[in-house]
């Protein structure tokens, strides 16, 4: 059974798209702490949307992608 993500958490590919980089590059950068708001759940990378937006774009909120 697949679990849905909370509204304030997205997949790393979400952050990659907003940064205009390849997902593979995002995984490499996340592993060395270069993408704000990234954290691992088991072996999968997730992104805190509010923290990412605040630190990268200076924005407060955005809805999670569908």
In the 3-class helix/strand/coil scheme, how is 14-54 assigned residue by residue?
HHHHHHCCCHHHHHHHHHCCCCCCEEEECCEEEEEHHHHHH
The enclosing H or E element of 13 equals helix 12-19
65 assigned to some structural domain: no
Domain count, the chain: 1
In a domain, 53, yes or no: yes
The pTM for the full model equals: 0.78
Instruction: Evaluate whether residue 21 is within a structural domain.
Output: yes
23-49 core/surface letters (b: 16 or more CB in 10 A; e: else): eeebeebbeeeebebbeeeeeebbbbb
The pLDDT of residue 60 is: 61
- Name the token pair of 15: 């952050």
Domain that holds residue 50: 9-57
| Predicted local confidence at residue 25, as pLDDT | 98
Tell me whether residue 27 is in a domain. Answer: yes
Is position 62 within any domain? no
Blockwise average pLDDT, block size 10, the chain, 66 residues: 80 96 97 95 95 84 54
């Amino acid at each position: 059974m697949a679990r849905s993500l909370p509204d304030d958490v997205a997949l790393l590919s979400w952050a990659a798209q907003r940064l205009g980089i390849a997902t593979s590059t995002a995984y490499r950068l996340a592993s060395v702490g270069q993408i704000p708001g990234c954290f691992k759940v088991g072996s999968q990378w997730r992104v805190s949307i509010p923290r990412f937006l605040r630190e990268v774009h200076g924005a407060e909120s955005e809805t999670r992608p569908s």
